[in-house]
A and B are shown apart, each in its own frame.
Chain A
Amino acid sequence: MSKRTYNILFHLHTVSGIVISVALYVIFFTGSFSFFRDEIVNWERGHTVKAPEEINLDFDETLEQMSKERNLFGRDIEFKQYYNEQHIGVNLGASKDTLLTKEKAAGAFYYLNTDDKSTTDYATSYSLGEFLYRLHFFAQMPHPFGYYLSGFVALFFLFALITGIVVHWDKIISNFYVFRPMTKLKTVWTDAHTALGVIGFPFQLVYAVTGTFFMLKILLVAPTVLALYDGDDKKLYEDLEYAHPHFEFQNTPINKSININSYVKQVKSKWNNFNVNEVHIFNYGDKGMHVSVSGNLDYKNKINGYGYTIYNVTDGSIYGIKDPTQKTSYLDAVKGIFYRLHFGDYGGYGLRIISFLLGLIGCFVILSGVLIWLTARNKKNIPVKKRKFNEAVVRYYLAICLSMYPITALSFILVKVVNPAGMSLLYQFYFIGWLLISIFFILKKDNYLTNTYSLLSGSIIGLSIPIVNGICTGNWIWVSFEKGYDQILFIDIFWIVIGIVGLLIFSKIIKTQKNNSINK
C-alpha cells in the first residue's frame, strides 16, 4: 500500500471514529444491557416466564372472555409474542360487520398478561428494559431522526471497522497477541485498541452490518418501491412476506364451534420442538374465517426455522403451509438470520452473557481509540490552544460515556422504589441524572477521577440493587432461587457480579496509582 493510500485510510478511520465515538459508545453500552432486555422487564415487574419463546395461553378461553367485552364477529385478531414476557400483544382489527356502529367496530391494540389476564397499553407497561433497549437505537429522539442517526452511526462504524482493519493489515499477525500495559501511555492505548479491535472484528462487523440494515433499510426500500413497484409499497411488503394474505369477508356466520387451541396443537405435533409465537385469525366467526399459526423451530434444531400453517376453518382444510424443516428460502434466511445474529438469542444465557462482555470490550475499544487520538496530539509542537481543546473534547467524551454506568445502576433502583415508574419519570430521571453526573465530571476536569468515581459509584449502587429489590418486593435472592423466579434471580446475580468486578478493578487502579506515586 502506498503511503498516500495509507494516510487517507488512516485519517478516514480517525475522523469517522472520533465523530461517532460517543454515540457509538451509547449504542454499545445500552446494546450490551439489551441482551437482557426481557430479564430486566420481568425483574422489574416481578414476573417469571416458565416457557420462553412461545405463547402460553388458552386461546379459546381468552377469545370467549374477549367476546363478552366486544363483538368479535368479522374481525382480524392477532396474538403475538414479541418478547419473552408474560405480556403478549393483542391486535384487534376493525370489524368488517357493517351493521355495527363505528365505535363498536373500532380496532384496538393492547398487551395481555397471560398469567392474570389483565390488559395494559404500551405507555403504562413501559419499563426500564424497554427504555434501555430503545436508547440502543435512539428511539427517544423524535421519529425518525433517532433511527436514522443510529443507522448512520452504524454505517460509519462499518466504515471505521473496514478502514481500521486495512490500516492495521500488515501487523495483524505480528501484533496479534501484543498488549504491553507497562509501557508509555500511547503504546498501552494503541495495543489495546488494535489487539482487541482485531479479535473482536467479526463480532463488531456483524453488528455494524445488521444494525445498518435494521435502521437504514427504508433507504433501500424507498427506491425499490418507486422503481419496481410504481409506488405500491403494499405489494413490496407482500412479496417480502411481511404482510398476511387477504381473505374475503363473506358476512355469513360460521355454523360450527371454533377451536383455536386444536389448530395450535396440530401444528406443534406436526413439527418437533416448534414454538408457536403468533396466532392470526382472519374474519373471526365468518364463513371466510382462516387461522394462521406461525413460529420457529427450537434454535438447536435449526437456527432459522420459521414456519406456519394456515387453516380454512369452514372446511378444516389447510390453505397454506411453510414447512420449517425444509430448506430455508433466501428471503427467510436474510430476514431471520440478521435478527438472530444481532439479538444473540440462539444460544441461551451463556451466549448472551458472553456477548454482553464482548459488547463492553467494544466500549473499551471505542474509548481507547479516543485516548489514542488525544495522546497522539499531546505533543510539544502542537499549539497550547489546540492541545487544550483536544483535552476538553476527551474530557467531555469520557464524562458523558462513563457516567452511563452509575445512572443506569441508579435507574434499576428507581424502578423498584417507584413501581411502575412509567415512561415520563424514567425519561426525566435517566436523562437529567445522566446530564448532572456528566456536568459534575466535566467541571472536575480530571479524567482519572471520572474513571474511578463512575466505577466506584456504579458498582456500589449495583451491589445495592438486589438488596433494594428484596426490601421492595420480598424477592430476595434465596426466595427467587427457591421459587424458581429465573429472570429475577438472574438480574440480581448479574448486578452482584458486575458490582464485585467493578470494585475489584477500582481497588486495582487505586493500588497501581499508590505504587506509582511511591516510585516517583
Chain B
Amino acid sequence: MITIILLLTFTGFYTCYATTKRQKVPINLKIETWCLKKSTQANAIGSILIFIACALSIYKFGWGSGIFTYLIFLMTVASLIILLQPLHLITYKTISLTLLLIFLMEFSFF
C-alpha cells in the first residue's frame, strides 16, 4: 500500500511539476512535453492522483495519522522531485529501482 501511495504521489506531483513555464524542465520521462502543452489537464490529473494517494493513506493509517503521514510523504516526494529532476536523476531506471526497494522493504518491515 505504501508503495502505491508513494507512486501515486510521485506521479501526481511530477505531472504538476512538469507544467511549469518558469524553467526548462529536462525531458526524462517523455511525459513532460505533454504536461507543458496541456497544463490544465496535467494539473487536474496530478491533483486527483494526490487526493487519491491521500485517501489511501487515510484508509491505511486512520484519519489523524493518515493525514499527517500523507503531508510528510508529499513534502518529501515534492522536495526530491524538485531537487533531482533538473539533475537528470529521475529516470525510469532510478524510479523502478527505488520502487522495488520500497516494495521489498514494505513487505519486510511495514
Contacts and interface: CB of A to CB of B under 8 A. Distances in A.
B76 to A, nearest CB: 5
B55 interface: no
B100 interface: no
Interface stretch (A127-135, A175-183, A429-437): A175-183
B69 interface: yes
B68 A341 contact: yes
B64 A303 contact: yes
B29 interface: no
Given A181-B87, A203-B72, A347 B79 contact: no
A55 interface: no
Contact of A357 (B23, B76, B109): B76
A273 B65 CA distance: 15
B73 A354 contact: yes
Contact of B83 (A176, A179, A304): A179
Nearest to A303: B64
Interface in A489-510: 489-490, 493, 497, 508
Nearest to A361: B79
B10 interface: no
Interface in B48-101: 60-65, 68-69, 71-73, 75-76, 78-80, 82-83, 85-87, 89, 101
A344 B75 contact: no
B47 to A, nearest CB: 14
Contacts of B87: 181, 508
The range of chain B's interface size is: 20 to 34
B66 to A, nearest CB: 8
A346 B61 contact: yes
B75 A358 contact: yes
B83 A302 contact: no
A179 B64 contact: no
B108 A489 contact: yes
Interface residues of A, number: 44
A349 B109 contact: yes
Contact of A354 (B23, B72, B86): B72
A493 B17 CA distance: 32
A196 B84 CA distance: 12
A515 to B, nearest CB: 13
B64 to A, nearest CB: 3
Nearest to B78: A199
A326 interface: no
Contact of A179 (B61, B73, B82, B108): B82
Given A177-B22, A357-B76, A497-B101, A347 B82 contact: no
A383 to B, nearest CB: 35
A349 to B, nearest CB: 5
Nearest to A490: B109
Contacts of B106: 350
A357 B62 contact: no
A351 B69 contact: yes
Nearest to B1: A350
Nearest to B81: A177
A361 B72 CA distance: 12
B20 interface: yes
A358 to B, nearest CB: 5
Nearest to B64: A303
A351 B64 contact: no
B62 A348 contact: no
Given A181-B86, A195-B82, A349-B110, A202 B71 contact: yes
A347 B109 contact: no
A347 B101 CA distance: 19
B98 to A, nearest CB: 10
B83 to A, nearest CB: 6
B31 interface: no
B104 to A, nearest CB: 9
B108 A202 contact: no
B105 interface: yes
A355 B74 CA distance: 11
Interface of A: 174-182, 192, 195-196, 199-200, 202-203, 299-304, 340-341, 344, 346-351, 353-355, 357-358, 361, 481, 486, 489-490, 493, 497, 508
Given A174-B22, A181-B87, A347-B61, 4 more contacts: A180-B23, A199-B82, A302-B62, A489-B108
17 contacts: A175-B22, A176-B20, A177-B17, A181-B86, A195-B82, A199-B75, A199-B82, A202-B71, A299-B61, A340-B68, A347-B65, A350-B73, A351-B73, A354-B76, A361-B83, A493-B105, A508-B87
What are the 4 tightest A-B residue pairs by CB atom distance, in nearest-first order?
A303-B64, A347-B69, A346-B65, A300-B62
